[in-house]
Structure 1
Amino acid sequence: MSKETISDNKLKQPLEEMSSKDKMINGSAWMTGGSILSRLLGALYIIPWMAWMGNQSIAESANALYTIGYTPYALFLNIATAGVPSAIAKQVSYYNSLNEYEISRNIYKKGLQIMAVTGIVSALIMYVAAPFIAASSPNVSVDNATQVIRSLSWALLIIPCMSVTRGYIQGHHIMKYSAISQFIEQLARVIFMLAAVYLIRQVWNGSVVNAVAASTFAAVIGAVFSIGYLFYIIWRKKPELDERAAQSLNKITISTNEIFKSIIRTAIPFIIIGSGITLFQMIDQFTFQQIMTQVSNLSPKQIVNHYGVASGNVNKLIMIVISFGGSMAITAVPLISELIAKNDLKKIAHQISDSLQLFSFIMLPASIGMMIVAEPLYTVFYGQSDLGTTALQVASFMSLFLGLFVLMGSTMQAANQTRSALWALVIGLVVKLATQYPMLAWAGTNGMFISNIFGFGVTVLLMLWKMYKVTRFDMGLILRRVLLMLILTLAMAIVTFAVKELLYLMMDSENSRTSALLVMAISAGSGGIVYMYGSLKTRLADRLLGARVTGLRTKLHIK
C-alpha cells in the first residue's frame, strides 16, 4: 500500500505510482466534478424557488435579501474554519511524506477541537452582529435582513468540524470523498430549501422573510448530512489509518501545544487569503447602495434589486466556472506541501507550470464561452434581463482573475510564500477600494465587477511574479501554450457566437426559457466541439492531460 495515500480498492493503480501531474489531474477531476455539480444545483434551485416566492418583483426582493445574508455568512464561515481544509491538508500531507502518520492523526484530532471552539465563537459573533451588518447592507428592512443573517449563524456550529475532516482526507490525496461530501451537502440543502419555500409560500401562505430565513437555514441541514458522510468514511477507513499510524517512524516528536500552534500558524494566512473573494464582495455590500445613491437615478428598491442581480444571480453562475480554480487549488496544496517536505524545488516549478497550464486550458474557453452565451444562460435561470445579461458578460471575464487568484493564493501558501501572498491581496483590496467609486459612476452596476478586475488583476500579477522569482518555472513554455489556447478559444468563440445568432433568428421569442435553453445548449456545444477538436488536433490536450487522451484521439480518428 502507498505510504502517501489511503488506499482505495476501486483505483486501478496504486497512487504511489502516480506522478504529481497525474495526481493533479485525478484530484482536480474529482473536485471539479463535485464542485460543478454542487454549483449547478446551487444555480438551478433558483428557478422553482423564485417561482414559488411570488411575482417577479417579490422574487427579486427575496433573492436580494437572501444574498445579503449569504455574503457576510461566507466571511464568518472562512473565519470559523480558519483556513481549513487547505491548512490541515497541507500539514497532513507534509508529515505523511515524512512517514509520520501518527502526527497527522494528532493534527486532525486537535484540529477538530480548535474548529469546535472557533465555530461556537463565530456563530455567536455573527448572531450578535447581525443587526449592524443588516443596517450596513442594501436592504429595505433591517429587521428582515437581521432575521436572515441570524438563521445562517447556526451552520457555523457544524461546518468547521466538517471542513477539518475534509482537509484530513484531502491530505491523503484522496479527493473523491471530499467531492462526494460536497455534493451531498448541496443536495440536502437544496431539497430542504425548496420544500420549505413551497410549504411556507404556497401551502401556508407565509411571509417572504420567513421563507428566505428557512432557505438560508438549509445550510445547517446540508452540513449535517455532509459531516455524517465524512465521519462514516473515517470510520470505514479506520483499519487502514490504524495500520498507517502503526508504521510511523516516530522520529519527530511534537507536543500538543506545538500541534495547536502549527495548525493556527498555518491556518491564519489561509483564512485571510481564502476570504479574498468574500472581502471584495463585502466592499460591494457595504458601499454599493451608498455610492449608487449618489451617482445614479435609481430608487432605493431598484438599487437593492440591481445588487441582488449582480451579487446574487450573476455570482451563482460565474462560481460554476470559478470552482475549477478552487478544485485545482485544493488538489495542489497537499502536492506542493509534499514536495516542500522533500525540498524538491525543480518539481515544485513543474507543478506550478502544470497547474497554470491546466487552469488556462479549462478556464479560458469556459469564461469566454459563458460571456458569449450570457443572454440565453441568464434567461434559462432567471428570465430575460438586459441588466442580468450585461452583468454576466462582464462577470464572466472577471471569473478568469478570481479563479487564478484562488489557485495562486493556495499555491503560494503551500510553497511557504504566505507573506508575499498576503501583501498581494492587501494591495489588490486597496486597488478595489480606490476604483470602486469611479467605476460605479462610469459603468453603473457593472462597475463593481470592473473594480474587481483591477483589484484581482494586480493581486495575481504580483503572485505570479513572486512565484516565478522563487521557482523559475518555465514562463516561456506557459506563454506559448496559453497563446495556442487563446487561438483555439477565439475559434470556439466565433463558432459559438455565429450559431447563437443564427438560432435566435430561427426562434420565435428570445424571452422563452425553452428557446433560451436550446440556444445555449446548441451554441455552447458547437463551440465546445471546436475547442476539443482543436486541442486534440494540435496535441495540446496530450501534453496537458497525458496518454489517456491519445486513445480518445484514435477513437475519433483525429491524426
Structure 2
Amino acid sequence: MTNSPETGTTDTSSQSKMLRGSAWMTAGSIFSRILGAVYVIPWPIWFGVNFIAANNLFGRGYQIYSVLIVVSTAGIPGALSKQIAHYNEMNEYGIGKKLFEKSLILMLVMGILSAGALYLLSPVLSQGDARMIPVFHSLCWPLLIIPLLSIMRGFFQGYAEMAPSAISQFVEQVARVAYMTITVFMITQVAKGSYVTAVTQATFAAFIGAIAGLLLLVWHYLRQRPKLEKLIENSNNAIEVSTTDLLKGIIKQSIPFIVIDASINLVYIIDQFSFNRMMSDFVIASDHQLWNMYTLFAVNANKLISITVSLAAAMAVTAIPLMSAAHVRGNQKELKRQIGSTIQLFSFVMLPAACGMAAVAGPLYTLFYGYDALGVNVLQYSSYISILLGLFTVLGAILQGLYQNRTALFYLMIGFIVKIVAQYPAIYFFRVYGPLTSTGLAFATSSILMLMALRRNYHFDVLQTIRRLAGVLIFSGIMYIVTAGAVKLLYLVFNPYSRLQSVLVLVISVGIGAGVYAALALKTRLADFVLGTNMDRFRRKLKLK
C-alpha cells in the first residue's frame, strides 16, 4: 500500500491489520494455551499419589525444552517476519522468498544440532535425577521439527497473515493433547505402568503436535503459491542481495529475538536451579518437599498464567512486522500512533484478563489441580506478575520492530541483574513467593526503561495512553470486585473443594466479570477509543445506548 500519510488511510490500515492480526493470534494462542492446560485436569485421578511428582517432571523438562526451542530457531522466525515485511513494503517480494528458502535450510541444521545437544546434555541437566533423562530424550524429537514449523509461521507473519499461524497452533495442540491424553490413560490406567513412562510419552506428544502443525502450514503454503508467485513476478527487482548477505542480515536480526524470546524461560530456569538451594537455607524440608513447593509457582501457576501472557505474545508477533513496515515508510506520525495504540490495546486486554484470573483463582486452581490454599494464593500472586511479563513482551517487540535491538537487549540485561540480585533476599522475606517477586521486579525495571526510551525517541502520546490506562484500571478493579464477590457468594452454595462444582463457579463468575467489563468499556466508549472502531452495534445488542 502506498497511501500518503496525509490521508490517514495508511494509519487506518495499520490499525486494522493490528487488530485483525492480534485477533487471530490471540484466538490461536488462547485456545492453544487452554488446550495445553486442560490435559492436566484428569492427571490427579490417573497419577494418584504420584501426581505432583509427575507434574514436576513434566514442568522441569519443558522449562529447558522451551529455552532450547528459542535457541534452536535462533530467533529467525521473528527476524524473518520482520525482514519479509521490510522487503515487501519495498515491493521486493522475490528477496522475501529467497530469505524463506535459505532460512528453511538453516532451521533444519539448527534443529538437528539442538536435538543432539539436548540428548548429550540430559545427564547434566537432570541435576542427578535419573527420572529426568528419558523425559529430556523424548523432547529431542520435537526439536527436529519445531524450527521448520516456526520458520513457516514467520514467513506468513511477514505477509501480515496471522490466520495460518493461529490455526496451526490450534491444530498442533489438538494433536499433542490427544496423543498425550490417550497414552497417559493407557499407561496409568490400563497397563498400570510407571508414572515416569507416562510423563515421557506426554512430553513426546510435542513431536506429534509439531508434525500436525507443520503439515497444515505446508498445505496452506501450496494453496497460496500461485498468489505468491504473482507478487514475485510484479516485484520491482531493483535490489540485488547475495545469499551470504541475506543470511548475515537475518542472523544479525535474530540474535535479539533469541535473548528476548527466551527471557521469561531463562528467568524460570534461574528459579529451577536456585530455589531448592536457597530455600534450604531458611526452612527445614526434604528435597521432595522443596520440589513440591517449586511446582506450585513454577509449574502449576505458570501453566495457567501462560494463558494470559499469550495475549501479549500474540500482540507482539503482530506488532513486529507492522512496526518494521511503518519504520521503512518513515512515517513518524504513524509510528507514534501505532506505539500508543499497541500499548493501549495490551492494557485493554491484559489487565482485565490478569485481574479476572486472580479473582477466580480458587475455582480455577481447584479445577486443574485440586484444592490447595497455598496453591490458590500463589496463582493469585502470579496473575498480577503476569501483567509485567506481558508488558515486557510487547515493549520488547515494539523496540525490535523499530530496529532498536541494542536498546531492548541492554534493558533486558539490567532486568536480569535485578532478578539475580533480588532472588536470595526475596526468597528470604517471601519464601515460596520470593521467585515471583524477584521476577516481577526484574521485568518491571526493564519495562519502565523501555517505556522511557520509546517516549524519548518516538514521542508517543503519553497523556492519552495514561487516560485510557486509568479507565482500564478502574474498570478492571470493578470487574475484580464483582467477580471475586460472585465467587464468594457461589461458595455459599457450591463446595469449594469439589472439582466438578468448581466448573460451575468458574463459568458463572467469569461470565459475570466479563459482562461487567464489557458493559463498562462499551458504555463509556473506551472500547471504541482503544480498538479504533465503532462499537454501536454491540451497544444496541446489549441495550447500552
Please confirm whether the aligned pair reaches a TM-score higher than 0.5, indicating the same fold: yes
- The answer (yes or no) to whether the contact 1:367–1:399 under 8 Å persists in 2 is yes
Asked if structure 2 preserves the Cα contact closer than 8 Å seen for 1:326 and 1:403, the reply is yes
Per-residue CA deviations over 1:138-192 (Å, capped at 9, x if unaligned) read: xxx6211111112101211111011010000011011011100000111111111
The structural deviation recorded for 1:3 is: 8.9
1:529 paired residue number: 515
1:19-98 matches, cutoff 5 A = 19-53=13-47, 55=48, 57-98=49-90
Give the 5 Å matches for 1:436-451. Answer: 436-451=423-438
Which aligned pairs between 1:493-508 and structure 2 lie closer than 5 A? 493-507=480-494
Moved over 4 A (4+): 15-18
Distance 2:510 2:145 in 1: 39
Q: Name the residue aligned to 1:360.
A: 347
2:500 pairs, out of 492, 508, 514, with 514
TM-score by length of 2: 0.97
For the 8 Å contact 1:175–1:331, the answer to whether it is kept is yes
CA distance in 2 between counterparts of 1:361 and 1:148 reads 39
Determine which of 182, 186, 189 is the counterpart of 1:195.
Answer: 182
Partner of 1:7: none
Q: Taking structure 1 as reference, are residues 168 and 155 closer, same or farther at Cα in structure 2, changes over 3 Å only?
A: same
Equivalents in 2 of 1:17, 1:353: separation in Å?
12
The reply to whether residue 278 of structure 1 matches residue 270 of structure 2 is no
Any residues of structure 2 matched to 1:12-411 within 5 Å, and which?
Answer: 19-53=13-47, 55=48, 57-135=49-127, 142-411=129-398
Task: Report the TM-score when normalising by structure 1.
Answer: 0.94
For 1:479 and 1:18, the matched residues in 2 are separated by: 22
- Secondary structure of the residue aligned to 1:416 is coil
Question: What is the distance in 2 between the residues matched to 1:162 and 1:302?
Answer: 39
The Cα of 1:308 is off from its aligned counterpart by 1.7
* 1:309 positional shift: 2.2
Amino acid at match of 1:96: N
Q: Are the aligned partners of 1:346 and 1:471 in contact in 2 as well (CA < 8 Å)?
A: no
State the distance in 2 between where 1:204 and 1:26 align: 47
SS at match of 2:118: helix
AA aligned to 1:209 is: V
Question: What is the CA–CA distance in structure 2 between the aligned matches of 1:60 and 1:549, rounded to whole Å?
Answer: 46
The CA distance in 2 between the partners of 1:343 and 1:179, in whole Å, is 30
Whole-angstrom CA distance in 1 between matches of 2:76 and 2:244:
19
| Deviation at residue 197 of structure 1 after TM alignment | 0.8
Contact 1:86 1:270 in 2 (8 A): yes
Query: Is this contact kept in 1: 2:21–2:161, CA < 8 A?
Result: yes
**Structure 2 residues without counterparts, runs of 5 or longer:** 4-8
Aligned-partner residue type, residue 531 of structure 1: Y
- The residue type equivalent to 2:439 in the other structure is N
Per the alignment, do residues 226 and 142 of structure 1 end up closer, same or farther by CA in structure 2, a change over 3 Å counting? same
* Letter aligned with residue 486 of structure 1: L
Deviations 1:399-453 (A, max 9, x none): 0000011111111011011111101111111111111111112211111111111
For structure 1, the residue ranges without an aligned partner over 5 or more in a row are: 5-14, 136-140
Question: What is the aligned-residue RMSD (CA, Å)?
Answer: 1.5
How far the C-alpha of 1:548 sits from its partner, in A, is: 4.3
Distance in structure 2 (CA, Å) of the matches to 1:534 and 1:18: 25
Question: Deviation at 1:333?
Answer: 0.6
Instruction: Assess if the C-alpha contact under 8 Å between 1:412 and 1:421 holds in 2.
Output: yes
Distance 2:304 2:168 in 1: 21
Kept in 2: contact 1:64–1:309 (CA 8 A)? no
Amino acid of the residue matched to residue 65 of structure 1? L
